[in-house]
Structure 1
Amino acid sequence: MKLKNYVNQIEKEVIEIRRHLHKYPELSNQEKETSNYIQQKLTEYGISFETGFATYGVLGIIKGKHSGKTVALRADMDALSMQEENDHDFVSVHPNVMHACGHDAHTAMLLGAGYVLKQMEEKLHGTVLLVFQPAEEDSPIGGAQVMMDDGVFDTYKPDVIYGQHVWPTLPTGQVGVTDREMMGASDRFKIVLKGRGGHASMPHQTSDVVVAAGHLITSLQTIVSRNLDPLEASVVTVSVLRAGSMPNVIPTEVVLEGSIRTYSEAIREKLKHRFFTMVNQVAEAFEAEVAIQYKDGYPATVNTPEWAETVRQSARKVLGEDATPVVKPSMAGEDFGRFLKKYPGCFIWLGVQLENEEERVPLHDPHFKINEAALSNGTGLLAQVAVDTLERLRGEE
């Protein structure tokens, strides 16, 4: 039986799984019931599994009848701290918790792909690992490195690893892949400026940290515009500013928070060095004390060209010759980058764009929805990629 027929068999159940997970979301490092549900489904499909990685992580194992290499497929499980504002009949029942990033769909499609590959195990040359990862949203720690530290790949080491993410700006039926940089490194910072406060009418008696903060925000923008090649992509963003509570009082403290996004590891280190230099120099110029917290977050998600091309070929088999348009990388961060630092592979964007343009919203929006017709696309793509990769690895032996 062809792969597509197995996808058709599981298509409705994948939608049901996604809706169940959407209705009962769990935050990072709290995915107990999600993990139990995944284990229940794997048992139902006859897929063996191991647990205990990053507490709630699950590793499904499908051994083909024939010997060969190992391919891993990864889906994340956790939801966001956000109140859902949709009105469909499977809206989140948990206050301020919502699958607004599509991890419910990722898990459902990986379970579906697991079902498909289990039906095909007699023909598989090698092993397929189903990696259900918790805590992807828990930056900068995440769950990928913790799973690896806990030994998720100690017994079965992947020769290639893939991850898939729903992408609402990409039309349903299309797949986005780049040959190298796919997602950005995501570092975070917090700056606390302290000075002498006082009456707003007598600024000469103070060291005004509000003015210092204004200069600092402007100065930080020059790190990218004046220290990097204009063709290099990077972003420095100050997204939080807290200062004062009264219009006639110069405060003693200002807090700034934000993030730095890069692709290149060398540029990442250069921006970090310039950031510390600039913050300290501005603080000194305005006679302010400064405390800096800087957290190195997820590394850039960088695909392996060979396996990106395999994804394109698989996508054309499943979705047609026009399924793989040229896409530009995103500066958004992704914990899957940690897997790709250790193993070759590819991160995939799956088009889930809604037909109704007025309903389209970005990821992490309280009204986020997907076109559920895309779930069978993603299920079939993951299964096809696994099959094609094992065959390609077999040919390289």
Structure 2
Amino acid sequence: MNNIKELISFIESDILNIRRTLHQHPELSNQEYQTSALVKEKLTEYGIEFQTGFANTGVLGIIQGGHPGGTVALRADMDALPIQEANQHEFASENDGKMHACGHDAHTAMLLGAGYALQQQKEDLHGTVLLVFQPAEETSPYGGSQPMLDDGVFDQYTPDVIYGQHVWPSLPVGQVGIRDKEMMGASDRFKVTVKGKGGHASMPHDGNDALIITNQIISSLQTIVSRNVNPLDSAVVTIGRIEGGYGYNVIPEQVVFEGTVRTFKLEVKEKVKQRFHRVIQQTAEAFEGEAEVTYYDGYPATINTPEWAQTARKSAQRLLGEEATPSLDPALAGEDFSRFLLHYPGAFIWIGTQIEDADNQKPLHDSGFQLNEKALPIGSRYLVQVALDTLQSLAESKEGDRSAS
């Protein structure tokens, strides 16, 4: 542990500079060209082998230990959001309408720092550590993890376990959020076009008000969660955007609304989806209108593998103390890392990044979002620790299998 701390301390200023450089020059999903170039530049500087050609801008760093063993993958996402930054600090975004409001700049910087420390110890490693730099996490329902898998990111080196880490503004620096199972929700999207018949506001009987139909549909959709989903299960149906109408004296013939469905359990997701379509179509028909529904099945729920979540928790406690892993609830926010967990066991982890002035902490995806940079070296140290502990656990498991046979 002292060796890890020393290695990360040596590279700490580099981790900070990488994060600030990326924050100042954010790139949207599938456009992470400068970000990817910086990752490759740093991997080269640190002497880490890497491969490219995954989901266009994705990069895979490879640290092969001096001894045979298992394979652990550590993933960081790289893309920013289409948000105009409101902060005024010296490294605020210079790219109009683009901002790292979800901390992916920190994720990339922390993983590079961890990669440096692991590379320095590679001759002592029993196994291989993969550094997965993923594009396009913010483009639900498509994402970047599945394209990386489709492009063969793990064809040569197959992970036994994979971990992802995300900054979490509600957790103080020095705390780590880990759950044994449900961590984050499935994130479906929808767009609904409601069609009626236009007319003059003074003669509503000559038209069929699409706004009235939409109002009834939206009100009815809220009954799905309150009356069709078990109260002990989690589900959310949110309408985030409505567009329709021309003026105060015009009955609109069309209204469009968009939103999202969030769930944990697959069976709950399917029930909500089924009821969603039925409620919309039958309500529209009852008002003699029409409704066109486009429903996007987004990221699946992020469900940790209990064994490796427990390993990750022990790593955090070993590094930061027994009180570093508080009990916490899952979040229904979506996460593209979930698709990696469909193929490989592992865990998704929240790293505390709350600013000193906690009362003014802005949430993720806010134009004023900030994170506490004191968490950056902690995040790098933690990634190293969990990788080493997992390789050791894999080695012990293999040795146990040999003894049993």
TM range (shorter): over 0.9
Q: Identify the residue that residue 239 of structure 2 maps to in structure 1.
A: 238
Q: Which residue of 1 aligns with 2:137?
A: 136
What SS does the corresponding residue of 1:169 show, helix, strand or coil? coil
Query: Is the deviation greater in 235-244 or in 380-389?
Result: 235-244
Cα distance per residue 1:230-267 (max 9 Å; x no partner) = 01001001111112121111100011110000001111
Partners of 1:240 and 1:84 in 2: CA distance: 22
Q: How does 1:348-387 map to 2 (within 5 A)?
A: 348-387=349-388
**Shift of the alpha carbon at 1:359?**
3.2
* Contact residue 78 and residue 137 of structure 1 kept, 8 A: yes
What is the alpha-carbon distance in structure 1 between the residues aligned to residue 318 and residue 9 of structure 2? 15
Q: Secondary structure at the match of 1:309?
A: helix
Counterpart residue type for residue 100 of structure 1:
A
Checking the alignment, whether the CA contact within 8 Å between 1:352 and 1:372 is kept in structure 2 is: yes
The answer to whether the aligner puts 1:158 opposite 2:159 as a matched pair is yes
The aligned counterpart of 1:200 is 201
Instruction: Map 1:175-324; keep pairs closer than 5 Å.
Output: 175-324=176-325
Deviation at 1:358, TM superposition (A): 4.2
Partner Cα distance (1:221, 1:40) in 2: 50
Query: Shift of residue 76 of structure 1?
Result: 0.2
Residue type at the aligned position of 2:41: Q
Partners of 2:3 and 2:171 in 1: CA distance: 27
1:347-377 per-residue CA deviation (whole Å, 9 max, x = no partner) reads 0000000011343100011111110000011
**2:12 is equivalent to residue 11 of structure 1:** yes
Letter matched to residue 34 of structure 2: E
Whether the 8 Å CA contact 1:209–1:286 is kept in 2: the answer is no
Matched residue of 1:322: which SS?
helix
C-alpha separation in 2, matches of 1:160 and 1:204: 64
Asked if the contact 1:11/1:376 (under 8 Å) is kept, the reply is: yes
Q: Deviations over 1:163-211 (max 9, x none)?
A: 0000001111100011111010000001101111111222222222111
| Residue 50 of structure 1: aligned partner | 51
1:61 deviation in Å?
0.1
- CA displacement 1:86-116 (0-9 Å, x = unmatched): 1111111111111010000000000000001
User: Are the counterparts in 2 of residues 83 and 366 from structure 1 also a CA contact under 8 Å?
Assistant: yes
Q: Is the 8 A contact 1:165 1:350 kept in 2?
A: yes
TM-score under structure 1 length normalisation: 0.99
CA distance in 1, matches of 2:93, 2:216: 43
Rounded Cα–Cα distance in structure 1 between residues aligned with 2:60 and 2:358: 38
- C-alpha RMSD over aligned residues: 0.8
Q: Is the 8 A contact 1:101 1:364 kept in 2?
A: yes
- Equivalent AA in structure 1 for residue 330 of structure 2: P
| Map of 1:74 onto structure 2 | 75
Q: Hey, what's the Cα distance between the residues in 2 that align with 1:291 and 1:356?
A: 47
> How far, CA to CA, are the matches of 1:240 and 1:25 in structure 2?
26
Following TM superposition, where does structure 1 have runs of at least 4 consecutive aligned residues deviating by more than 4 angstroms? none
Q: CA deviation at 1:7?
A: 1.5
Q: Following the alignment from structure 1 to structure 2, what is the Cα–Cα distance between the partners of residues 242 and 79?
A: 26
CA distance in 1, matches of 2:43, 2:319: 24
For residues 359 and 237 of structure 2, the distance between their equivalents in structure 1, rounded to whole angstroms, comes to 31
Amino acid at match of 2:332: M
- SS of 1:219's partner is helix
Q: Which runs of 5+ in 2 are unaligned?
A: 399-405
Structure 2 residue 344 is the aligned partner of structure 1 residue 343: yes
TM-score normalized by the length of structure 2: 0.97
- Residue type of the partner of 1:278? V
One-letter amino acid of the counterpart of residue 392, structure 1: S
C-alpha separation between the residues in 2 aligned to 1:367 and 1:207? 43
Gaps in structure 1 of 5+ consecutive residues? none
C-alpha distance in 2, partners of 1:253/1:60? 51
Q: Report % sequence identity.
A: 60
Q: Distance in 1 between matches of 2:176 and 2:85?
A: 27
| Deviation sequence 1:321-361 (CA, Å, 0-9, x none) | 21000010000000000001111000000000001134310
Stretch of structure 1 that moved more, 141-150 or 199-208:
199-208
TM-fit CA distance, 1:2: 1.8
| CA–CA separation in structure 2 for the residues paired with 1:358 and 1:225 | 32
For the 8 Å contact 1:208–1:286, the answer to whether it is kept is no
